[in-house]
Structure 1
Amino acid sequence: MLKTMPPKSFLNYIWPMRVLKMRYKWFLVFVINFVSLGAFAQKESYIQSLNHKNHWVDSVFKKMNRRKKIAQLFFIRANTDKGQAYEDSVAKVISDEQIGGLVFFQGGPVRQANLINRYQKLVKVPLMITMDGEWGLGMRLDSTISYPFQMTLGAIQDNKLIYKIGQFVAYDFKRMGMQMNLGPDMDVNNNPDNPVINYRSFGDNKYSVAAKGIAYMQGMQSEGLLTSAKHFPGHGDTNVDSHLDLPLLPFSRERLDTLEEYPFREAIKAGISGIMIAHMNIPALDTTKKLPSTLSRPIVTGVLKDSLGFKGLIVSDAMEMKAVTNYFPEGEADVRAFLAGNDIIELSENSGRAIKLIRKVVRKGGISKQEFEARVKKVLAAKYWTGLNHYQEVSTGNLAADLNRPAAKELVQQLSDAAVTLLKGDANALQMNPLLKTAIISIGVTQPTVFQQELARWYPNSAFFQVGKNTPESELKALLTVLAQYDQIFVSINDTRARPASKLDYSIPVKQFITAIAAHQNSLFSVFANAYTLSTLPGIEKCSALLECYQMTDELQRSAVKIILRQMNPIGRMPVTVKALFYTGEGIRLQ
């Protein structure tokens, strides 16, 4: 479809009494402030808290029978977009089983806050509430802030900004009554065709992934939020989605040690509170056929706990995923995950059945008394560390405003400004001539974009064109004839999908149209799509200037326009290599 539009001791002397009193007063103020700051700085981390006995934890543990202790290890699914019957069914499981926690998925913030308040009233030991928030609450909840995807953050060179995101995400989670974020993703995405990680990773460089993942984690934990790096030992080099089947990781132990495990090893050194295990078959670590790593004691306990010395929470990936249920049905997967060493068993198909099965295993001595006690107490210690020993209801007053505060929106724009990457061109190729006849084209959309509207304010002699994903070839040829009359062309490539894949869902004629425009003498392309899509657009590298902007958001579109207008310099760097076109770390800085 086509549309056209424009921060010598005084005790050695004898001082007058008044001066002494004044100095003594200020000395006391200094000491009090010093002690206060020291106490804040020395607030122990969750990992540190595990090194000593905890009266609350011991007291709660002693009051529970074996079944209820096992139930503390189970976290079940919750939503607020599935209706009253679904919410009631979850409430019944919580009440009957007295499970340890919830993992929330899609819904709305106020509805979820109300539901958390309702569910917490059903248990004797407060529930620990978690959610996948790799890019904040917006990953699951409507009407909330979405920070840039981790691949976009991978282009940012200042990791202090990544730490700041962590602080902001922690605020949002705690404001919602949640205690743990199932993130960050610390997979090294070195497979462009990865169908499940991809844009969720910081990139394909293990050092960058580790540094950014640690910054994000430390930001969250500094504000009292538990975190869980995922997906150990690394889900970045797979071409199978573990939601659908069991991926095979065929690499050597040496390769896994030096590449996939690297970010997790560094995160453990940095004090990360939790790690999620991936569902992958890894023969180099466990030769059992068709055995997901989540269910493998040699991997969960042998590698992660014993070899790497991780003492925090070990979280299974969702036990309802096909990578597990296809091979270990009827609760066998839950038992194996428990025996493997997982502390939190997430999203069991049937938690009631699983608790009964594991109770039999514990009763028969399938696991030592010491290990069982330590794992239950680890979950209880996490609840204590996050303040659930003094549980308070979530206040819904001003909730929407608090979650959409101006400071958060400003941070999103700041992050976007720091991410945009110039891959080709100079100052002249970017700005071009505002007086010349200008075409501003947005591809993959049917309505004018923010990119077009912002640029048009500075290019008065301009016209808008929209090209849909499947615009007929005849219309595209006609448009090329029209565009031949324009002196310069600005083009935005847009991926409107919620999850930007490595390949654009454009028709072949539309891709050929892009190739033709790139050959224009004065053409500038801004790609608001996954960086890997560059390899699927033949000839785009022939354009006069090329900006990689990673995803389609209003903020990134404004950032691109600011760079085009030379209001700021591009400072982003490619987080991944795109075949032979562009390489990790590449990016032009203008003087």
Structure 2
Amino acid sequence: MNLNTQQKIAQCFSPAAFIHDSEENYQAIETLIREQEIGGLTFFHSRHSAAANFEKRAEVLDVSGTLEKMIILINRYQAISKTPLLISIDGEYGLAMRIEKTPQYPFAITLGAIKENSLELIEEVGYRMGQDMKAAGIHLNLAPCSDVNTNPNNPVIGYRSFGTDPQQVAENSLAMYKGMKKAGIGACLKHFPGHGDTQTDSHLGLPVILKTKEELLKEELLPFQYGIDQGVEMIMVGHLAAPALSSGKEIAASISREIITDLLKNEMGFKGLIISDALNMKAVADLSPIPGQLEWQAFQAGNDILCFSDHVKEGIEMIFKNASEEEIDTVFEKIWELKEKLGVFDFKNLDVPDFDWVSHSKFQSQLSKEYVSVVSGKIDSQELQRLANVRKLSHRIYYGQPESTFSKNLTLKYSSGLSKNSIEDSEKVIISVFVPSHKPLNQFGMDEEVLEEIKTITQSKPCILVHFGNPLALKHVGNLEDFEAVICAYQSFDEAQEMASKFL
């Protein structure tokens, strides 16, 4: 197809498209497609949930019909685009990260806890996730994270990382990437050069990693080098500074030519596509007051796809004014080849996909067998049965529901109305905590009074803790040695609750 220089530059742009939005905003996207001829769109749930990162809120607004609305919008936008659009989404644990009532898979931290056949199972997760996305008209998933979770106070990575060991993270993230690729969708390792050891959220400010280059090569950069050596074709660069890689300057990697071109491309040998992290994030957005300037900086540093740009028209103009014909052609050819490879040009009107929930649940059960585990102490089921028979066993639920799968299973097993037994009269207490948030803000959403109450119970009686949710929240529940045993279920899926109840 014969495109002029501006049209070629426009193929680099993948601005945000919000599923729940006003008709006026839908039309603004149509104007971008018609007038600027952008190359793609990155779908997000709503402005409200996207803003949660900036406003330090953890919740997501529940708006119904999200999947149906997204399908309508993809059909609507593709219908008016001269060149079919590359549709991407940020779905680290599946479509469910952005779209309600779609299959959700375990967090990376959960998959990192799998004991047997972890690489095969993680690849299968990637494959199934990719199939779901393909059915929903998505070509590219902006995942997985190859960040090594080396800083326990990290406000933004945590549950999104496969773990603290660089080699394990390297192997797991590659397995996830391969699974998605096998399903026929694109994937990318992120957030280069590694967002794990940071204390600032790049949605809010510029994180800085003060490590030597040697330290970075051993930890942060190892998963990316491993992926490059195994032929990974796409990497996302994060908004974080690593002065040891940029001649001592505190500059975001996403706009640093030294980090992207000199290090990633030339030194580490990456030949694939580079995509920027969202260009509206405060780590970079606040530094470029002139519209289009940030887009040009990101392009000049070596990014091929510019994600979530708020200044598309000005960005195209600025790149047109400053970049050479050769630079533009090189980037354009990479994007065009990616579109061909992912079947973007074969677009056909989409129907709302029908997911196989039975198969999904069976797979979730298979996974939960591998990650739900007793992380400390021992459980004596016979003794629990004996105590239940004489009404000396009680169950306290925090943030969960009495009719949850776990509670129902306990009631069935011990048939003595555990929740009604008083703690004073009990000899042992099962404490189940359904952690309200997977983000660390406000102690993962847990109230101080609740945490104090749990600590008081553990001081007065032998207790078994059953923890549903992000395991990084365990540190707030108390000293694990204060519990007779701790079961970590990692997720609150019904299948994980089912598995946790089997340990009792």
TM more than 0.5: yes
**Any residues of structure 2 matched to 1:200-215 within 5 Å, and which?**
200-215=160-175
State how far apart, in whole Å, the 1-side matches of 2:84 and 2:316 are.
Answer: 19
Residue in 1 aligned with 2:384? 432
**Any residues of structure 2 matched to 1:32-431 within 5 Å, and which?**
60=1, 63-106=2-45, 108-157=66-115, 158-287=118-247, 289-330=249-290, 331-362=292-323, 365=324, 369-396=325-352, 399=353, 401-402=354-355, 404-428=356-380
Deviates more, 1:385-394 or 1:311-320: 385-394
Residue in 2 aligned with 1:577? none
Q: TM-score, normalised by structure 1?
A: 0.78
Deviates more, 1:406-415 or 1:276-285: 406-415
Q: Secondary structure at the match of 1:284?
A: helix
2:502 is the counterpart of 1:562 = yes
Aligned length: 479
By how many angstroms is 1:414 displaced? 2.0
Report if the CA contact (8 A) 2:107-2:160 is conserved.
yes
State how far apart, in whole Å, the 1-side matches of 2:129 and 2:470 are.
Answer: 23
Deviation string for 1:438-473 (max 9, x for gaps)?
2111113465433211111001123326xxxxxxxx
State how far apart, in whole Å, the 2-side matches of 1:359 and 1:504 are.
Answer: 46
Deviates more, 1:284-293 or 1:155-164: 284-293
Report if the CA contact (8 A) 1:430-1:524 is conserved.
no
State how far apart, in whole Å, the 1-side matches of 2:439 and 2:182 are.
Answer: 30
2:487 is the counterpart of 1:547 = yes
State how far apart, in whole Å, the 2-side matches of 1:199 and 1:303 are.
Answer: 28
Unaligned runs of 5+ in 1: 1-59, 466-478, 565-591
Residue in 2 aligned with 1:518? 458
Unaligned runs of 5+ in 2: 47-65
Q: Which amino acid aligns with 2:404?
A: T
Q: TM-score, normalised by structure 2?
A: 0.91
Deviation string for 1:116-160 (max 9, x for gaps)?
111112222111000011000000011101111111111112221
Report if the CA contact (8 A) 1:106-1:141 is conserved.
yes
Q: Secondary structure at the match of 1:89?
A: helix
Sort the Cα spacing of 1:505 and 1:390 in 2 relative to 1 into closer, same or farther, 3 A. Answer: closer
Q: Which amino acid aligns with 1:382?
A: L
Deviation string for 1:316-370 (max 9, x for gaps)?
00001100012122222111100001010111111011001111012xx4xxx43
Deviation string for 1:471-509 (max 9, x for gaps)?
xxxxxxxx9xx3120133211112123646593433333
Deviation string for 1:174-218 (max 9, x for gaps)?
101111110001100111111111111111111111111111111
Report if the CA contact (8 A) 2:243-2:250 is conserved.
no
State how far apart, in whole Å, the 2-side matches of 1:537 and 1:85 are.
Answer: 47
Report if the CA contact (8 A) 1:247-1:281 is conserved.
yes
State how far apart, in whole Å, the 1-side matches of 2:363 and 2:382 are.
Answer: 25
Deviates more, 1:151-160 or 1:335-344: 151-160
Residue in 2 aligned with 1:583? none
State how far apart, in whole Å, the 2-side matches of 1:547 and 1:561 are.
Answer: 10
Q: Secondary structure at the match of 2:45?
A: coil
Q: Which amino acid aligns with 2:350?
A: V
Aligned mate of 2:433, from 490, 493, 502: 493
Report if the CA contact (8 A) 1:493-1:527 is conserved.
yes
Report if the CA contact (8 A) 1:193-1:502 is conserved.
no
State how far apart, in whole Å, the 2-side matches of 1:545 and 1:381 are.
Answer: 54
Report if the CA contact (8 A) 1:113-1:176 is conserved.
yes
Sort the Cα spacing of 1:237 and 1:429 in 2 relative to 1 into closer, same or farther, 3 A. Answer: farther
Give % identity: 33
RMSD: 1.9
Report if the CA contact (8 A) 2:43-2:88 is conserved.
yes
State how far apart, in whole Å, the 2-side matches of 1:338 and 1:252 are.
Answer: 27
Report if the CA contact (8 A) 1:521-1:544 is conserved.
no
Sort the Cα spacing of 1:227 and 1:163 in 2 relative to 1 into closer, same or farther, 3 A. Answer: same
State how far apart, in whole Å, the 2-side matches of 1:516 and 1:430 are.
Answer: 26
By how many angstroms is 1:373 displaced? 1.4
Report if the CA contact (8 A) 2:94-2:129 is conserved.
yes
